[in-house]
Structure 1
Amino acid sequence: MPLRRRRRAALAAVSLLVLAAVVPSAATAATAAIPAAPAVRAAPGAPKPARIDLVLDLSGSMNQNDAGGMTRLAAAKQAVSRIIDTAPAEAELGLRVYGATYPGQDKKQGCADTQLVRPVAAMDRASRADAKKQVAGFKAVGFTPIGVSLREAAKDLDGNGTGGRRRIVLVSDGEDTCAPPPACEVARELKAQGIDLAVDVVGFRTPSAARAQLKCIADVTDGSYADADDADSLTAHLGALFRKEWRTYHATGKPVDGSPTGCQDAPLVAPGQYLDEFTGGRDLYYKVKKRPDQRLQVSATAVAEEGYERGSIITVAAGPAGDGEPRAWLREFDQSMGWANILSTGGRSKPGAGNDKPAPDDTGCIMVENDITRPGDKPMPVELLVGIADNDTQRTGSRTPEPRTGADAEGGFSFNSATPIGPGTHRQSIAVGEAPFWRVELKAGQKLAVKAGVDIPSDFPASATTGWGVTVYNAERSSTLCNEDHRSTELLAGRTGHIERACGPWEITEQDDTKSPDPNGYDVPGTYYIQAQVAEPDDKAKGIVVPISLTVDVSGTPRPENGPVFFFGDATAQDGPPSGANGNGEHGTTGTTGTPAPSAKDGDSPLGSLAVPAGVGVAVLVLGGITFYAIRRRRGA
C-alpha cells in the first residue's frame, strides 16, 4: 500500500512581478479582454448520467408501524420526497409503484397492479411539484409483484431506444408474492439483454428470506444492496444510491481554451474560475496581468472518470512570459501514488521585495503542466482558479458562508460545492466510491483537527488495499499532510465495524518571506477542504452504502487579520462562493458570493452537483501522493 507524503514549496521569484491594474479594476480590464462566454459549462466530454426509475413497494405490509415511530409507508414517502427535492433539474428520473391500487384477494388482478406514476424525464419545477403531490397521496394496499414491475421498469427506461446507462432503484419490504416470474430470474433476463442496466435494491425491514431474494436481484445485475430499518436510514440509503449516479465531480467554470503551444498564443484570464481540458499530452498556457505589488494565486484541478495512474503529475507555474517555462512567481506540483478521482495543486506568489523580474505590460504567463494524459487519451476536464490580492482588496470587507448542520451538512462533490461546516460531529451515509467534500474557514493561529469514521459491514468485500481515507486540502487546493505517519488512509486489513482516521491537530500559519514554506501545507489561512471516502475498494464494494461520521475541531486564538484578501472574480462560474478565500479565511465581497448556493445538492448542470465518477462509483481518493518542488524537463507541446 503506497504511503502519502507531502513536501511542498512554492517557488516565488526573488521579486514579485508586474501585474496589471488594481482589483477590482484589474479584474474588469482583464475580463474585457476575454471573449464573451456562456456563464458555466459542465466538464467537457463528461458521461451522461444514468436514466433512473425508482420502483417503490406499496404492498399492504408497508402499513406496519415499525419504522422508527412511523409507518413504513410514511418513511418511504419521506425518503422519496427527499429524492425529488434534491434531484438535479436535468436528471432523468421516473417513478413506478406496485401494490398501490388493488386491495382485493384475486392474485391475477393483484399481481398486475403496477403503474408508472411519473415517466422517466427531466425534473423541471412543475414536474417536481406534481411528483411530490402524487407521493403524498400514496396508499399501500396490495400484492408484491416485484418481477413484473422490474420488467415494466426496464421498458420505462428504454425511452426512445437511444441506449445509454440505465438504473432501477427498487425499495421493498418483502419478497415477491406473485411468482412466477421469480424476481431474480427476471433480473437475469434483463441483464442477458445486453443493455447497460443495473438494479440497486434497498431492503426495508426485510426478513431473511426476502433479503436473499432482493440481494440476488442486485447481484445478478451488478447492482448494490443495502438494508434500512427506519425512516432516516431509508432516506440516507436512497439518497446515496441516487447520488452515485448523479454525482460526478462537478467540474465547472467559464469556458476557456488555453494555448497548447506557449504563452504567445494564450488567452488572457482575469480572476475567476475557468474550465478547460487536457488533450493528449499537451500543457496549457494562459496570460494573466499582475502588478509587482499584487499577489497571484493559481490552482488547477484535473478530474478523472477513473483513477489516475501512479506517477501522474499536475503542475501549476507562473511567471513573466518569455523564453523558457514561466516559474519565477510560483510553481507547485501534486503527484499521485495511488488511485485518485481528482489531482489538484495550487500556489501563491510571495510579496514583492523590490527587485521583481519585469513583465512587459504587466502581463505574465500561467502554465498548467500535463503529465497525466498521453496522445490518444480522451480529453480530461481541468478547473483553473485564478486570484489576485493587493492592498485594495484587503480593505474591501468580507463575509463567510453560514455553516450547515444536520441533513444540510451532507458533503458536496467538488471544491466549489463543498458544504460549509463548523466544529462538531456530522453524520451521513455514502455509497462506496463517493468522495464528498466539506469546507472549514480557518485563520492564522487556529488549529484544525479532523476525525473521520466509517462503519464497515461484516460482509464487506474488501481487498488488501482497501482503506478509509481522509484528505485535507488547503486554500490553494493543495493536499496537506494528514498525520505524521504520512498516510491519508487507514487500511481495513479485513477489519469490520467502526474504523477511524484522524488528521492533526495542525496549526494554521501564514506564508511570508522570512521562512521556508511549511512542508505540511498548513501555512495558507483561508478555506480548507476535507474529503473522505472508502479508498481503493474492490469492484464488488462500489455502491455499498455505509454510514460515516466527520468530527471537526477548531481551537486556538486567531492572530490579527493582516493577511491578503484574494479576489477570485464574480460567482458566475461557480456553484457557491469562490474557493480559496483570503488569507484570513474570509472571502472578499467584491464580485463574489459570500454564501453557497441554496443547496449544494441542487445541481445546475446535466451532472448536477452530486458527485461520484462515471458509473457506479468514483475512482478512489488519493491514497498516496507526493507534492514536491522539483524542476523537470517540460514535455514537448
Structure 2
Amino acid sequence: MLAALPVLALGGAFLSPPAIASATPAVPAPNAPAAARIDLVLDLSGSMNENDAGGQTRLAAARQAVTRIIDTAPEQAPLGLRVYGATYPGQDKKQGCADTQQVLPVTPMDKTARADAKKQVAGFKAVGFTPIGVSLREAAKDLGPSGERRIILVSDGEDTCAPPPPCDVARELKAQGVDLAVDVIGFRTPSSARSQLKCIAGATGGSYADAGDADSLTANLSTLFRKEWRTYHATGKPVEGSLAGCQDAPLVAPGQYLDKFTGGRDLYYRVKKRPDQQLQVSATAVAEGGYDRGSLITVAAGPPVKDGKPRDWLREFDQSMGWANIITTGGRSKPGAGEDKPAPDDTGCIVIENSVTKAGDKPMQVELLVGIADESTRETGARTPQPRTGADAEGGFSFNSATPIGPGTHRQSIAVGEAPFWRVELKAGQKLTVKAGVDVPADFPTSATTGWGLTVYNAKREAAECSSKAGATELLAGRTGRIERVCGPWQITGEGAGSPDAKGYDVPGTYYIQAQVAEPAKEAKGIVVPISLTVDISGTPSADTGPVFNFGDDAAQGPAPAGATPTGSQAATPANDDSSLAKTFVPAGIAAAALILAGAAFYAVKRRRTP
C-alpha cells in the first residue's frame, strides 16, 4: 500500500490547524492560556562584524531580522531580549565570558516596549566573546520558573567560554521542566559549530535552522516566533445555532460566524433570500484532536421540508480522510432557486449537519460563512485587497487571514507542520497555475509518511483537485533538495458552464492556496524549511463576471497590515470558547500518516450534490 502512496490523490488531506498571521493580532478568549514567554538571545561577538551576509555585515543582518520581529509581534506576546559579547572588547577571558546582558525584560509588546526594543537594537555593537552556555542559563532566569517558556538563540559560531559546555546547559535547562525549550538559528555557521548548536536544540526539544544571509535569517527567525504565537484561531461573530430545528434558529445576515458542534447535534440558522438572489453557505469544522476517518460535514439551505431539513437551495458535503484538522465545504444556490416554491417571507433555513462529534465529545468550533449575491451587490462590486509582496506576503493561517497575493513568485520559510494560506482573485475566463517548491535539507529526518502538500480551495471553500494526473500531496520518501508540486493550469469557468472535469474550478471569486510539509517523526517537529509559491494567472476575463457575493464587512477580507487591530468578526470570539488561541496544534505528522493511508479512497467518497 505504501508503494502506491506517491500518486494518491489526497486533495485537501494535509490540513493543519490554521493560525493567525503574526501581522494580525487576535483577541484571545477569556479562558485562553497565557501566550508562551520568549527570550531572544543574540550573538554580538566580534565575528558578527564580518561582511558576508548578502552584502552587509552579519550585525546589520541581525538588526534587520530582530527589528522585523519587534514590528510584527502581537501586543500580548511576552518578548525579551538578551545579548552576549556586546560590551567587552578586550582579551581577558574571565571578563569576556561574563559579558551577557538582558537589554529588554520579558514583557508584552505594547507601544512603549516596542519603541524601547527598537532603540536597543539600533544601538547594538559586536565586540566580544561567545558565552553561549552562560547566556542560556541567564535567559532561563529571564523567563521565570513556570509556564510555557522558549529561548530563541541566534549564533554565528560555537561557544568560546566553556565550561559550561552549552549542550550540558541545555540538558540542565530541560531538566527544570518540560515547558522550556531552545530553538536555534545558526547564522553563517561553520560545520564545527553547527553540531554544537543542533545539540542545544535537540536536548531541549527545540528546533534548528541554518541562515546564510539577511533574508534567510529574517525568514527563519520570523518562522520560529510564529510557531509560538500562531495557534489555531477560528474567527467569526459569536452565534448559537438552534439544536431543535429551523423554527427557533437565529437569523443570520451576510458575514462570518463562529459556533460549535456539541455532541452529535446539527446546527440550524434562518436566512433571508429572495428568488432573485443567490446564497452561498460555507462551513468549516475544526478539530483539536483530529477526525475519525469518515467524519462528514454537510451544509444545506432552503425552506424546511417535511423532515425539517432544508435542501432546495443548495446542498454540499465533504468527508474526512482520517486525522485531518478541518473539514470544509460550501455551496451556492442556482440563479432563480426558490422561484417555483418561494419561501414564506423569503426566509429559509441553513443546516450544518454534524456527522463528526458524538454525545459526550468536547465542543468543536465551526465557522459559518454566509453570502448573498444580486444586482445590487454586482453594482457595488467585491472588495479586493491589495496584493502583497516580499516579507508582507507570508501566508496567513486560516481562510479569513489568508494573505492576498498576485501573480509572481513568493518566498518564505515555514516550520514543519505549518500550513499557511494565501488568496488570489480569479474571474471566469482566466486560467490558474500554482507551483509550490520546498528545499529539503540533506539531514531532514524523513520517513515513509513525510509529505509535501499543495491544496487549492475554490471560492466556496471546497478543496479542488490539484491536477488531472496526480494528487495534491507528494511523499518525499527520503528525497532531499528541491521538490516541487504543480496545480493546474485550470480554466475558471462561469457557474454552470464547467465540465465534469473542472473539479471545483467552476466558481469565479477568491481562491485559496495552502502549502505544508507534514512529518510524523518527533525530531522533525518545528524544523524550518524554505519554500516558494509561484502563481500564474493567464487568459482574458469574460464579459460575464458572474455573481458578486456580499459576505459582510469583515469576512474573508484578508489579514490586516502589521500593527493593525482586528475589528468586527475577526476580533470576536465567543465568551464560552475554550480553545481559541489555545494549544490546539495537533502534531501534523499523526495527521499526515493517517491521511496518506486513507487517501486512496478520497475521490471515491468526496462528492458534490446539488438539487
TM range (shorter): 0.7 to 0.9
Question: 1:617, CA displacement in angstroms?
Answer: 6.5
Task: Give the Å deviation of 1:466.
Answer: 1.2
Deviation at residue 564 of structure 1 after TM alignment: 1.4
SS in 2 for 1:263: coil
Mapped pair 1:319 → 2:280: no
Extract unaligned runs of 5+ from structure 1. 8-38, 579-595, 632-637
Q: CA deviation at 1:488?
A: 0.9
Corresponding residue of 1:577: 557
Paired position in structure 2 for 1:635: none
2:210 aligns with: 227
Stretch moving more, 356-365 or 135-144 = 356-365
Match of residue 195 from structure 2: 212
Q: What's the counterpart of residue 628 of structure 1?
A: 607
State the partner residue of 2:105.
119
Structure 2 gap ranges (5+)? 13-24, 574-579
Aligned mates of 1:554, 1:547 — CA distance in 2: 24
SS at match of 2:226: helix
Partner residue in 2 for 1:597: 560
One-letter amino acid of the structure 2 residue matched with residue 393 of structure 1: T
**How far off is 1:275 after superposition?**
1.3
Root mean square deviation, CA, Å: 2.9
State the one-letter code of the partner of 2:350.
Answer: I
Shift of 1:264: 2.5
SS of aligned partner of 1:435: coil
Task: For residue 349 of structure 1, report the CA deviation from its aligned partner.
Answer: 0.7
Which residue in the other structure is 1:90 paired with? 76
Question: Are 2:389 and 1:405 aligned?
Answer: yes
Relative to structure 1, the CA distance from residue 45 to residue 266 in structure 2 (aligned partners, 3 Å threshold; closer, same or farther) is: farther
CA contact (8 A) 2:299 2:316 kept: yes
Partner of 1:264: 247
CA pair 75-259 structure 1, distance change in 2 beyond 3 A? same
Query: What amino acid maps onto 2:557 in structure 1?
Result: P
After TM superposition, list the pairs within 5 Å mapping 1:406-555 onto structure 2: 406-512=390-496, 520-555=503-538
TM-score, length-scaled by structure 1:
0.84
State whether residues 236 and 572 of structure 2, in contact with CA within 8 Å, keep that contact through their aligned partners in structure 1: no
Instruction: Please tell me whether the aligned partners of residues 78 and 231 of structure 1 are also in contact (alpha carbons under 8 angstroms).
Output: yes
Q: Tell me the distance in 2 between the aligned counterparts of 1:611 and 1:530.
A: 25
> What's the CA shift for 1:567?
0.9
What are the superposed Cα offsets for residues 522-575 of structure 1, whole Å, 9 maximum, x if unpaired? Answer: 11100101100113442321211111111111112211134111111112xx4x
Q: 1:106 aligns with which of 63, 78, 92?
A: 92
Equivalent-residue separation in structure 2 for 1:284 and 1:82 (angstroms): 43
Whichever structure has more helix as a proportion of its residues is: 2
Which residue pairs with 1:34 in the alignment? none
Corresponding residue for residue 73 of structure 1: 59
1:391 to 375, 391, 402: 375
- Report if aligned partners of 2:261, 2:364 keep a CA contact under 8 Å in 1: yes
Aligned partner of 1:614 among 571, 576, 585: 585
Secondary structure of the corresponding residue to residue 196 of structure 2 = helix
1:589 is aligned to: none
Structure 1 counterpart of 2:215, one-letter code: D
> Identity of counterpart residues, as a percentage?
75
Q: Deviations over 1:82-131 (max 9, x none)?
A: 11111112212111111212223333332222222222221112211111
1:263/1:321 contact within 8 Å kept: yes
3-state secondary structure, aligned to 2:169: helix
- Residues 174-206 of structure 1 show CA distances to partners (whole Å, capped at 9, x for unaligned) of 112222221111111111122312111001112
Offset from partner CA, 1:497-526 (integer Å, 9 cap, x none): 1111111111111223x8887660011100
What is the distance in 2 between the residues matched to 1:491 and 1:369? 33
Residue in structure 1 matching 2:229, options 246, 249, 252: 246
**Equivalent residue, structure 2, for 1:359:** 343
TM-score w.r.t. length of structure 2: 0.87
Task: Report the CA distance between 1:369 and its aligned residue.
Answer: 2.1
Correspondence for 1:369: 353
Q: Deviations over 1:367-406 (max 9, x none)?
A: 1122333344333222111001112222223442222222
Superposed displacement of residue 44, structure 1: 9.1
C-alpha distance in structure 1 between counterparts of 2:118 and 2:409, whole Å: 31
Relative to 1, partners in 2 of residues 1:444 and 1:248: Cα closer, same or farther, differing over 3 Å?
A: same
Aligned 8 A contact 1:258 1:286 in 2: yes
**Structure 1 397/147 Cα, relative in aligned 2: closer, same or farther at 3 Å?**
same
1:144 corresponds in structure 2 to 130
Deviation at 1:615, TM superposition (A): 7.8
Counterpart Cα distance in 2 of 1:517 and 1:423: 27
1:285 to 268, 272, 287: 268
Distance in 2 (CA, whole Å) between partners of 1:40 and 1:177 is 42
The secondary structure found in structure 2 opposite 1:395 is helix
In the alignment, residue 466 of structure 1 is paired with which amino acid?
T
Distance in 1 separating the partners of 2:404 and 2:375: 27
Q: Distance in 1 between matches of 2:522 and 2:564?
A: 26
Q: Tell me how far 1:171 sits from its aligned partner.
A: 0.5
Cα distance in 1 between the residues matched to 2:202 and 2:264: 39
2:320 is matched with: 336
Question: 1:53 & 1:208 partners in 2: Cα distance?
Answer: 26
Change (3 A) 1:81 1:612: farther
Compared CA separation, residues 557 and 42, structure 1 to 2 (3 A): farther
Deviation at 1:313, TM superposition (A): 2.2
Q: What residue identity is the alignment partner of 1:385?
A: L
Whichever residue aligns with residue 506 of structure 1, its letter is W
Cα distance, 1:630 vs structure 2: 6.7
Judge conservation of contact 2:11–2:473 (CA < 8 Å) in 1.
no
SS in 2 for 1:4: coil
Equivalences, count: 575
Distance in 1 separating the partners of 2:515 and 2:563: 17
Query: Quick one: distance in 1 between partners of 2:156 and 2:338?
Result: 72
C-alpha separation in 2, matches of 1:610 and 1:457 = 31
The answer on 1:172 being equivalent to 2:177 is no
Residue 15 of structure 1 is matched in structure 2 by none
**Which amino acid in structure 2 is aligned with residue 458 of structure 1?**
A
